[in-house]
Structure 1
């Protein structure tokens, strides 16, 4: 079978080139023009996908070689594309940056795997003629993705722009599809984990609208769409039909508000497919838990809301009681922080749920970041024993841990809690720094839902 879909990879020459801003601008502009845009993000990320989801009006999905492997990239790309007319894939880091020295995990490799042309954005601050050798190297370096054109970002003046265009025309010959002198006005404020989450950005709809307007004013959208249309049909292996979502057998509470925003849509879909009805609630504003059989507490930025989380004494107490009574709870990163005894930031200590035998303190520097490999231990209530591929990035550390040496995971690569283990276990609760993705661990959702059902019946 084959997939016919216009598609384009948005990549930067290096980190902080403006690729996220450009991807949001394109998604907003094309969606505003009536084009059904399906957004994707390469690599583990929560924040960029939230902005792309907002701009496109469709959930942004993850494409990652570490999670999916080379063979599963195409099915992961095709699955959410139904009904879309244009796929926009935002790369990560620089076009040729990655872990593997051979480049098998780069944005360039993904563009080649998807047979998608690349729209390259270059931050041109302090650059004139030097843009030419930069573009030549990016174009000709293996695996030599198809560069469809270039967008010039952070152009200082008309004179600056003219010098850049002259150098590209003289030495490179790539189409110049726009120059953006004022995208800084629409950039989303940076935070210690990257771009500010949608759920916390003031007037985020206005930001997206402003970026869409910049794309309409400063980019050749018609030509960009023509370049996306040059992508050939993709040959796909026939996929097994996706079974209908079954009748729910458990009610799973999912924390979702300004403090807890980090959820992959693939994970939520996997939980529903496993038989969970998701019931969303807010630890910031809800006094009590909804009627649920288990809890899923994702990541986010609880430190920015620590005072409000601490002030919700009734909900904190109820979650602690339910956890000690045997409710199944799974927490990642920010969820771990919330379940701890207290969260300290800028010298101020805020009481949290108190279910875990530890406290958490924020740090100025990242404590861990990147991919990780974990092996469930015998202590993991629903672990399964198979190696788990995940990722982590946190500016906090556990302090005063009193739970002994046994944890739910043995860290094979990464940091976790202490460099050797991750996943604090209290009764039927598991709380780890690692973020799972169903593309890397396809059965985690079914195992967790099975465990929720079993513990609910036993309670």
Structure 2
């Protein structure tokens, strides 16, 4: 039996990350093996959930998986060996990615006949409707996972029951099992909130968190500050744990999680043993992993290992040279925060440029693309980067791409056959400038912004390098890891013969 629960909220910034961090840390402190998951494509919240649980946070996003069975299997693999799995939702409970309309005629007819039903005739929304696809509620129903609804209770009292009741009935098959109230005043306010929910909604209030600024982790243009950047932020995590221990009924929550029913038609495979840091493989892929480059799904690293590669982590701030590797993977992150320090490592920048010219396969996403450019500029700050790509990057005051991506590989793609369709996401506050107009691109986008030139393109290609704004997840790009490892193997073979 896989004990599990979902932490959700009516909307973002309700406190679900605070609650999830607190639960993970408090339950881990009891000696339980806690497996965190994040619904959605986020990297930053998972970095904190990993710290809280002491176990890598895994991704659960229906957009990346081919079908529901694949998502359920991914959960089962990640949850094996854990005493409890805690899934943090994203956005509001019922916010998802609607499926395309079945046909334009249905859409046109529905839109042309507006109506306003009387209140008694308002129907509930079918839980299998197209518009519910991809929501946190969708994932909870698929996994038959009980939901704890986190509600920001500031500036309300009895109305909280109407809000919770609405969420209970909107898609009736959604298993909301309890409520945690956030930002509540102690005493009479907390009592009135609890009484209203338990009397009118019939589910327990399992915790009431007071307003507390120490529970806040700082954020900036793309969300919270990642865990790997600043050790000084750890006290906020400790505060979340104390709040959970003092104000949440942990025993009741464990009982709810343990009562979750079996997931239908789901196999429980024995997970592979992934020796992430190893040199025992014939093919070695270097991975930039440090304060600047932190955006890696564990599933992607595992996919490379499953394809036959060993991984060598590289600190872009301190490494004097590239180690003996057959390919390089530079994930996303915030190189703009550290541009001067990255630029100061001249030896590594030169080594990356020389290796690229020599044909080393390099795969880079977003922040990795920025590192491979000639120059990075943010306002008055500007620094030289690796100079692999014939372009510069400038930071902007607003997102240049934000959301899911569907892309088709073009002939220039060094790691995937032309015509391969992949799914990913993008979230970047930067754009390319001074781009060589003859530079080939790897993707034609049917969804997303990419390099933002109006041509629905992404993925800059030069030598054996691919650098894109699109972040891939192994589930949404099944051939990516095998393709990168195959390119690394070809590079190794060619250099063994020279």
Common fold, TM-score beyond 0.5?
yes
Taking the TM superposition and a 5 Å limit, the aligned residue runs for 1:201-280 are: 201-238=230-267, 248-280=281-313
TM-score by length of 1: 0.96
Match of 1:455 in 2: 491
Match of 2:51 among 49, 54, 62: 54
Change (3 A) 1:235 1:24: same
Report deviation, 1:238.
4.0
- State the distance in 2 between where 1:15 and 1:296 align: 32
Match of 1:396 in 2: 430
| Contact 2:25-2:53 at 8 Å conserved across structures | yes
Instruction: Say whether residues 1:15 and 2:49 are aligned partners.
Output: no
Residue 17 of structure 2 aligns to a residue in which SS?
Answer: helix
Residue 412 of structure 1 aligns to a residue in which SS?
Answer: strand
- State the distance in 2 between where 1:85 and 1:239 align: 15
Instruction: Say whether residues 1:349 and 2:347 are aligned partners.
Output: no
Match of 2:463 in 1: 427
Match of 2:183 among 154, 157, 167: 154
Residue 466 of structure 2 aligns to a residue in which SS?
Answer: strand
Taking the TM superposition and a 5 Å limit, the aligned residue runs for 1:328-343 are: 328-343=361-376
Residue 290 of structure 2 aligns to a residue in which SS?
Answer: coil
| Contact 2:22-2:240 at 8 Å conserved across structures | yes
- State the distance in 1 between where 2:140 and 2:270 align: 26
Taking the TM superposition and a 5 Å limit, the aligned residue runs for 1:29-68 are: 29-68=26-65
Report deviation, 1:58.
1.0
Report deviation, 1:17.
0.7
Match of 1:171 in 2: 200
Match of 2:97 in 1: 99
| Contact 1:183-1:214 at 8 Å conserved across structures | no
Report deviation, 1:286.
1.4
Match of 1:114 in 2: 143
Report deviation, 1:233.
1.8
Report deviation, 1:240.
6.6
Q: CA RMSD in A?
A: 1.7
The C-alpha deviation readout for 1:164-208, integer Å capped at 9, x for no partner, is: 223223422320111111443122111211111001133344332
- State the distance in 1 between where 2:314 and 2:299 align: 19
- State the distance in 1 between where 2:172 and 2:139 align: 10
| Contact 1:108-1:144 at 8 Å conserved across structures | no
| Contact 1:21-1:183 at 8 Å conserved across structures | no
The C-alpha deviation readout for 1:68-118, integer Å capped at 9, x for no partner, is: 132211100001222111010101101111121620211011111011110
Q: How many residues align?
A: 456
Match of 2:221 in 1: 192
Report deviation, 1:64.
1.0
Match of 1:317 in 2: 350
Residue 254 of structure 1 aligns to a residue in which SS?
Answer: strand
- State the distance in 2 between where 1:358 and 1:120 align: 46
Match of 2:102 in 1: none
| Contact 1:340-1:357 at 8 Å conserved across structures | yes
Taking the TM superposition and a 5 Å limit, the aligned residue runs for 1:113-132 are: 113-132=142-161
Report deviation, 1:159.
2.9
Taking the TM superposition and a 5 Å limit, the aligned residue runs for 1:64-75 are: 64-68=61-65, 69-75=67-73
The C-alpha deviation readout for 1:333-357, integer Å capped at 9, x for no partner, is: 0000000011111222111011101
| Contact 2:439-2:461 at 8 Å conserved across structures | no
Report deviation, 1:403.
4.2
Match of 2:85 among 80, 83, 87: 87
| Contact 2:185-2:210 at 8 Å conserved across structures | yes
Report deviation, 1:457.
2.1
Question: Structure 2: which 5+ runs fail to align?
Answer: 99-129
Residue 132 of structure 2 aligns to a residue in which SS?
Answer: coil
Match of 1:26 in 2: 23
Change (3 A) 1:405 1:313: closer
Residue 36 of structure 2 aligns to a residue in which SS?
Answer: strand
- State the distance in 1 between where 2:212 and 2:250 align: 16
Question: Structure 1: which 5+ runs fail to align?
Answer: none
Match of 2:121 in 1: none
The C-alpha deviation readout for 1:208-237, integer Å capped at 9, x for no partner, is: 222111100011111111111220122344
Report deviation, 1:245.
6.6
Report deviation, 1:26.
0.2
- State the distance in 2 between where 1:35 and 1:65 align: 28
